[in-house]
């Protein structure tokens, strides 16, 4: 990726990490059916449901949207494949005081999250810079997309994200500042508001994979 500045100076964006954000507005009936299915399934699980939601009819339209956005993502990055396949799709239900620690989705190509039910107090999804040495020496700065070691996406109901499965991410405990009149100082309290219900998935490409030992060189 190349941008020109000052006429004779070029900036080359090497090794970018793409995160695609999309919207999917379900009908009132779809929303109700998905929430009901997850609520009933969640009774048997502590944190998330089984990973078979892509086979359940209530989630058909969402599944098709996921495949549409994922196909665009893969085609934009010029990958070759025979078939795009959802290998798992499940719901995460976070209640007040819950946290989803940092993790990746190993042995997959793309992953994603869709916010089925959230409110203004729902914690975001946070992504961590995969360049382990990039912030060893980090001067004071104004945080931007390009210089931060953590990037947060608000959990907006009806929106979703698609990202590389190797990208470390988490859901932090929601923190709200309230002013303590008695002690005249700001305090941090934990308050998730309503349940935060999200749907996650993994995607693999079926087809021929390159030799991981060989270098795939993009020439300038």
User: What are the sequence ranges of the domains in the chain?
Assistant: 16-129+151-206
Short-list 198, 193, 219, CA closest to 95:
193
CATH level 2 (architecture), domain 16-129+151-206: Sandwich (2.60)
Structure token pair of residue 48: 């998330």
12-68 tens-digit pLDDT: 888 889 999 999 999 999 999 999 999 887 666 666 788 899 999 999 999 999 999
Q: What is the mean pLDDT of each run of 10 residues along the chain (220 residues)?
A: 68 90 95 92 71 95 97 95 95 80 91 94 90 82 86 94 96 66 64 78 88 64
CB atoms within 10 A of CB 11: 10
In this structure, are residues 101 and 94 in contact, taking their beta carbons and an 8 Å threshold? no
Inter-CA distances, 169 with 33, 46, 81, 104, 163, Å: 28, 20, 26, 7, 10
Structure token pair of residue 209: 């994979």
């Amino acid at each position: 990726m190349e941008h020109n500045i000052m006429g004779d100076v070029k900036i080359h964006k090497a090794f970018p990490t793409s995160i695609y954000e999309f919207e999917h507005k379900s009908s009132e009936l779809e929303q109700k059916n998905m929430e009901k299915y997850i609520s009933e399934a969640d009774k048997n699980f502590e944190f998330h449901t089984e990973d078979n939601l892509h086979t359940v009819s209530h989630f058909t339209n969402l599944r098709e949207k996921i495949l549409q956005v994922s196909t665009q993502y893969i085609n934009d990055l010029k990958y070759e494949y025979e078939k795009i396949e959802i290998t798992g799709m499940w719901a995460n239900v976070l209640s007040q005081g819950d946290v989803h620690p940092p993790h990746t989705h190993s042995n997959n190509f793309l992953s994603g999250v869709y916010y089925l039910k959230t409110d203004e107090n729902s914690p975001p999804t946070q992504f961590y810079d995969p360049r382990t040495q990039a912030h060893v020496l980090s001067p004071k700065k104004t945080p931007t997309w390009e210089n931060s070691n953590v990037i947060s996406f608000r959990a907006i109901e009806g929106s979703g994200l698609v990202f590389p499965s190797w990208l470390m991410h988490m859901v932090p405990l929601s923190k709200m500042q309230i002013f303590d009149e008695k002690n005249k100082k700001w305090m941090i309290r934990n308050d998730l508001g309503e349940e935060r219900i999200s749907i996650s998935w993994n995607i693999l490409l079926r087809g021929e994979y390159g030799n991981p030992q060989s270098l795939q060189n993009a020439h300038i």
